[in-house]
Amino acid sequence: TTNGHTDSYAKTEIIKEIDGNSSAINEKEDKEWTPLSWRTKPIRQGVVYDDQEHLQRVLNKLQHLPPMVTPSEIHRLRSQLRQVALNKAFLLQGGDCAELFEYCSQEPIESKLKVLLQMSLVLVWGSRIPVIRIARMAGQYAKPRSSPTEKVEGKEIISFRGDNINGYDPSDRKPDPERLLRAYFHSAATLNYVRSIIGSGFADLYRLSDWSLHHVRSDRTRQEYQTIVDRLTDSLDFMRMIGADSPSSPLNSVDLFMSHEGLLLDYEQCLTRLLPDPETGEKKWYNVGSHFLWVGDRTRQLDEAHVEYFRGIQNPIGIKVGPSMESNELQKLLDIINPNKEIGKVTLITRYGADQVEKYLPGHIQAVKASGHIVVWACDPMHGNTRQSSSGVKTRHFNSIIEELSKVIRIHKNNDSQMNGVHFELTGEAVTECIGGSMQLADADLALNYKTFCDPRLNYEQSLDVAFLIAKYHEK
Ligand code: PEP
Ligand code: MN
C-alpha cells in the first residue's frame, strides 16, 4: 500500500518550504533525519489525494499555524513518564477509538474529562502513587484500516479512515485535503476548552457525592465500591480541612496531556517544529500538535515511514505491541526510537488479547530487560479482545478486558517487572458498545445506544468499574 507520498513534487516543494531551517538541520548529529525524511521510505496506510496542488496549499497553511502544545509541556510529561517507568507513578491513558469532528462540543469534552479524572482519583487511592493522565483526544482522528474498501449496502466503497481523511457518510469517502485543516482547528478548539476548564479548577469534578453507584447490579460489588468511595471522601475531606487542596495542590490544577496515533504523516510533519529545549536552549524537533504520539501496531515496521518519522521527535512516544512483534524486532525498534536509552521516553502499549498474553508478554519483558531500555509498560486490554456480537457488530467483553489486565499484572510480577499503566478506549457517555461490567450489559443491549464509528468503548460506568477493580487489586 505504498502511495503517492514519495512523488518528487512533494519532496522538493516542502524542502523549499523549510529551507530556512536547513542550517539547523545540518547541525543535528543525525544529518539524515528531517520532518520529511519519512517520504523516502515505503509507507503503510498512506493516503492518496487526487488534487496534489490542493494538498500542497493545505500543507503550506498548516505549517504556519501556531503550536498547540509547547516544548516545556512536552518535557514536563517526559519527566513524569520517567517517574512512571521507575514505578513511582502510574499512567492512565484513555479516550475514543476515533474522535469525530462533532465530538468537539462542550458536553462530550466535559464528560470525557470527568470520567478520566474520576478514574484517576480511584487509581491514586488504590496505588498510593501519582497518576499521570493522557487523553486520546484533540487529534485522535485518523484510523488504520485492515482493508482499503468495505461493503456498504451491497456496494464496495472506500473505507472510512477517520474525519481528517474522509467522511463517514458513504457519499463522502474520497480523501479531501481540506480535512487536514479542519483536524487542526477541531483539535485546537478541543484543547482550548480543556485548558479553560482545567484552569477554572477541577475540584468540582471530583465531587464524590455525585457518584451514583445505582447501575451496579450486584449488592456485594456495590458495597465494595461504596467502601472505596467512603474512604476516598474521608481522605479528601481531611485534605480540605488541613488546606492541602490549596490552589497549588494537584487537586485544583491537574495535569492532563493529549495524545493521538501519529498515523497521518502529512499532518504530523507540518506540526513538527524546530524549537529551543527549555532546559538547554538547544534547538530540537518537537511535534507541537500533541504532547504524546504513538505508532500503531500496523505501522511500526523498522525500515518504513512511520518509524522514520518517530525517531526524530522529542515527544514521548508510544509503541503498540501485539502478537506479531518479534523480540529482536522490539529491541531494534527501541534502539531506533530511543538511541540514548532515556528512561520513560518510550511507552510500550501491549495488546495481545486475554488468550494470547501469556504466550507473548514474558518474552517481550525479557527482551526489553536484555536491551537495557527502561520503558513504561502499559496494558491496552481493548485491542486484542474485539469480537463480533451475535448481531454482527464489533464488541468487547468486560470479562476479557479484566482477564487480560489481571494476567498482565501477574506476568509482570512473575518476571520481576511491573505494569506501569493502562490504556483504554472509553467515553463518558452511556453508550452500549462493550458487554458486561457491573451493570451486566448483554448482547441484546448493544442495540440500545451503539454509537461508535470505530471500536467499541467502555461507557462511563464500565470505565469506573475498571478503575475500582484495579484499585482493589492494588489494595491486596
Ligand atoms: C487504536 O489504538 O485504536 C489502534 C488502532 O490500536 P492498534 O494499533 O494497537 O491496533
Ligand atoms: Mn481502536
Flag whether pLDDT at 13 surpasses 60: no
In the reported structure, the alpha carbon of residue 204 is separated from the centroid of ligand 2 by a whole-number distance in angstroms of 30
Residues 6+ apart with CB under 8 A from 395: 386, 387, 388, 389, 433, 434, 435, 443, 446, 456
Give the distance (Å) from ligand 2 centre to CA of residue 145: 10
| The one-letter amino acid at 4 | G
- Mean pLDDT confidence for 158-178: 98
454 is in an annotated binding site: no
Q: Whose CA is nearest to atom 1 of ligand 1?
A: 97
pLDDT of 17 strictly over 70: no
Task: Return the ligand 1 atom nearest residue 351 CA.
Answer: 9
Distance 44 CA to ligand 1 centre (A): 14
Query: What ipTM was reported for this prediction?
Result: 0.99
260 is in an annotated binding site: no
Q: Which ligand is nearest to the CA of 294?
A: 1
**pLDDT value at position 205?**
56
Cell of 171: 457519499
Q: Which three cell numbers stand for residue 197?
A: 476548564
Output the pLDDT for position 475: 65
Tell me what percent of the residues of the chain surpass a pLDDT of 90. 77
Task: Please write the tens of the pLDDT for every residue from 59-100.
Answer: 999 999 999 999 999 999 999 999 999 999 999 999 999 999
- CB count within 10 Å of CB 26 equals 8
Mean pLDDT, range 222-232, rounded to an integer? 86
Average pLDDT, the chain: 90
Q: Whose CA is nearest to atom 2 of ligand 1?
A: 97
- Please check whether residue 156 is in contact with residue 150, taking contact to mean a CB–CB distance below 8 angstroms: yes
Interval 413-429: pLDDT, tens: 999 999 999 999 999 99
Q: Which-ligand-closest: CA of 261? A: 1
pTM: 0.92
Is the CB of residue 469 less than 8 Å from the CB of residue 402? Answer: yes
Using DSSP, state whether 197 is helix, strand or coil.
helix
Does residue 435 carry a pLDDT above 60?
yes
Q: What is the pLDDT of residue 476?
A: 56
Q: 420's torsion region: left (phi>0), alpha (psi -120 to 50) or beta?
A: alpha
Ligand nearest to the CA of 293: 1
Q: Inform me whether the pLDDT recorded for 313 exceeds 50.
A: yes
SS3 of the chain: helix, strand, coil, percent, to 5: 45, 15, 40
Q: How much distance in Å is there from the Cα of 395 to the middle of ligand 1?
A: 15
Please name which of 213, 234, 211, 230 lies closest in space to residue 222, comparing C-alpha atoms. Answer: 213
**pLDDT-based confidence at 30, cuts 50/70/90?**
low
- Please state the rounded mean pLDDT for residues 432-436: 97
What was the pLDDT predicted at 95? 98
pLDDT-wise least confident of 58-67, 192-201, 254-263, 391-400: 192-201
155 labeled part of a ligand binding site: no
What does the pLDDT read at residue 245?
A: 62
Q: How far is the CA of 277 from the centre of ligand 1 (A)?
A: 31
351 annotated as ligand-binding: yes
Check residue 222 and give its pLDDT.
Answer: 87
Residues having CB closer than 6 A to ligand 1 are 97, 144, 296-298, 320, 351, 383, 455
| 182 annotated binding-site participant | no
Q: 128 among the known binding-site residues? A: no
Ligand 1 centroid from CA 143, angstroms: 8
The set of cell numbers assigned to 74 is: 512536552
- Is residue 332 pLDDT above 80, yes or no? yes
Of residues 340, 342, 335, 379, the one with CA closest to residue 357? 379
